[in-house]
Amino acid sequence: LIIFTIARYRRLKTITNIFLASLASADLLLVIICVPVNVTKLFSFAWTFGVFLCKFVHYMQNVSAICSVLTLTAMSIERYYAIVHPMRAQYLCTLSQARKVITATWITSFALATPTLWIQVHLPVGVRKPAFWCVRDWDSPISWQIYELYMLVLVLVLPLSIMAGTYGAIGREVWRVTYLQGAAMCSCSHGEKFSRHAGNIDIDVVKMLVAVVILFAVCWSPYLIDNVLTSFALLPNTRTGPMKHMKMAFHLLSYINSCCNPLVYGFMSKNFRRGFKAALRLRSKSCIPYFCYCCTSCCCCHRNPR
């Protein structure tokens, strides 16, 4: 719905929304390809989907996770320049640049996830009744530990450190501007009030993006940390009993992140709610709301040219 809404209406094609469409595409990839297979695997002790899906599903899961976090990082940097360095943002933060960044993000994600294709194997098990497991095959415990640390740093530690820095700088800038505006409130002109209102709308956008980042961290941290602890033998590496259910719960929690993102957009953005309603109605001639982060009105209208 997010992708359709942004693609359908030109007025919705802002820099932030294009990044959100890329994020939604990564979420959709995970939900369509990975969720059905892994939910089925939850009720089985064997892998019944063949060699290709054994590698492909886990590869696309990592592609989606890496692409999501790289997109969130790019969005935080874009917001940083837009709010802290608005003059630079005029030539750095453009739609064409955003499209280039998104393309590079997807290419990088496919490249960084390639180790999964080598380590994921279709392993035969059983004697009387042959079956297969889809597991990771390690040459040594050290290679396993290196891979899990690689994923933890790539998907969680490094991106969250960058986003903490950018959103921290944004918070300081917002506090500084708010303090200065409060001190000069008595002499505030109409134009300054206009600028202040625009700043408030920018803050709402930042709040929504921070909420998406926090949701990502909460949903992916248990899965990634569990993998690291298991690789260092701090947790048992077993696929039976309570440990299987705990690991599967962590796995499914990472998928819940993709399902919850649209809810965050809907709850925290009135303009997204209006866009969703307009997309669902699909009226050929109607008043289409669009995002406006730099004006006093939260939406404007235009007629569908059809």
- DSSP letters along 235-258, please? S---SSHHHHHHHHHHHHHHHHHH
pLDDT at 41: 79
Which letter does DSSP use for residue 232 in this model?
Answer: T
pLDDT at 200: 44
Does residue 166 surpass a pLDDT of 50? yes
Does residue 63 surpass a pLDDT of 90? yes
pLDDT in tens, 30-61: 999 988 888 887 777 788 899 999 999 999 99
- Look up residue 274 and give its two tokens: 């209006």
pLDDT at 178: 76
Check residues 24 and 8 and name the one with the higher pLDDT. 24
Do residues 135 and 125 make contact, with C-beta atoms less than 8 angstroms apart?
no
**Listed residue (77, 222, 287, 240) closest to 163, CA to CA:** 77
Looking at this protein, which amino acid is placed at residue 255? Y
Domains of the chain in sequence order = 2-281 (1.20.1070.10)
Do residues 266 and 212 make contact, with C-beta atoms less than 8 angstroms apart?
no
pLDDT in tens, 190-230: 445 445 444 444 677 888 889 999 999 999 999 999 999 99
Cα dihedral: 160, 163, 164, 170 (round 10): -170
Question: Is residue 211 exposed (0-12), middle (13-18) or buried (19+ Cβ within 10 Å)?
Answer: middle
Check residues 277 and 302 and name the one with the higher pLDDT. 277
Greatest mean pLDDT range, 62-71, 118-127, 134-143, 182-191: 62-71
Check residues 132 and 306 and name the one with the higher pLDDT. 132
Provide mean pLDDT across the span 150-173: 95
Do residues 23 and 69 make contact, with C-beta atoms less than 8 angstroms apart?
no
Within its chain, how far is the Cα of 121 from the centroid? 28
**Listed residue (255, 256, 46) closest to 131, CA to CA:** 46
pLDDT at 181: 67
Structure confidence at residue 1 as a pLDDT band (50, 70, 90): low
pLDDT at 266: 67
Mean pLDDT for all residues in the chain? 81
Q: Give start and end residues of each alpha helix (H) in 269-300.
A: 270-281
**Listed residue (103, 61, 102, 99) closest to 254, CA to CA:** 61
Provide mean pLDDT across the span 137-142: 89
Structure confidence at residue 67 as a pLDDT band (50, 70, 90): very high
Within its chain, how far is the Cα of 159 from the centroid? 11
Strand partners, 45: none
Do residues 195 and 236 make contact, with C-beta atoms less than 8 angstroms apart?
no
**Listed residue (81, 71, 96, 60) closest to 255, CA to CA:** 60
| Residue 14: how many other CB atoms lie within 10 Å | 17
Do residues 69 and 216 make contact, with C-beta atoms less than 8 angstroms apart?
yes
Question: Is residue 178 exposed (0-12), middle (13-18) or buried (19+ Cβ within 10 Å)?
Answer: middle
Structure confidence at residue 182 as a pLDDT band (50, 70, 90): low
pLDDT at 236: 87
**Listed residue (224, 226, 271) closest to 245, CA to CA:** 226
**Listed residue (176, 189, 153) closest to 83, CA to CA:** 176
